[in-house]
Every structure is written in structure tokens, then in C-alpha cells.
Amino acid sequence: MVIRILYFASLRESVGQEAEELVLPEGIDTVGKLRSHIAARGAQWDAFAVGKTLRAAVNQRMAPADTALGEGDEVAFFPPVTGG
């Protein structure tokens, strides 16, 4: 299963990229599991660690950790919003 991941704002800067395609490993089927999977990449991905405040959206809708992932999904990670 292939998904597209987007990173925004301070998160985009800390991970050093704004988007990537990812082939999901077996068993990585929710937003929460994807977050843990990404956190394990190393120090540059510290913003994904447990306890860090991070928001996620799947196909442009806010998505809690238990949201299921599907083929071709657009998954976005970003810090809490500060518009207005």
C-alpha cells in the first residue's frame, strides 16, 4: 500500500522535506502506527516521538490516531494551527 505524506510549517523544516511517497510496511495501517513508524527513523524525526504535540489529517480531514489508512491516501502531519 502506497501513501503520500505531507509535512507543514515547523515540522517541514525539522524533517527537511515537504512530501514523500511511502510504501507502508505490513501492519502499519493507522495514523498512530504510521507516526510511531516515522518516529523510529532517528533524531531528525523527534517531532514524531510519543508525547510531542502533533496533528494529522487524512485526505484533508483532521484524523485521530486510530484513523485507518488506505491505498493512495494523502496523510499530512503538522503542528497545532495558528491562523486568524
Partner 1 sequence: MTKSLFFRPLLAVDGGAVTVRVQQDNFDVGREIAAITRGNLAIGAVASFVGTVRASNDGSGVSAMTLEHYPGMTERALEAIVAQARDRWDVFDALVVHRYGRLEPGDQIVMVVVASAHRGEAFAACEFIMDFLKTEAPFWKKEETPQGLRWVDARETDNCAAERWKTT
Residues that bind partner 1 (CB under 8 A): 6, 8-10, 57, 60-62, 76, 78-84
**Which residue lies nearer to partner 1 by CB, 27 or 51?**
51
82 Cβ contact list (under 8 Å, min separation 6): none
Give the other-Cβ count within 10 Å of 48's Cβ.
Answer: 20
**Which residue lies nearer to partner 1 by CB, 6 or 49?**
6
Min dist CB 34 to partner 1, Å, is: 18
Closest CA to 58 of 29, 17, 80: 29
Min dist CB 76 to partner 1, Å, is: 6
C-alpha cell at 49: 516521538
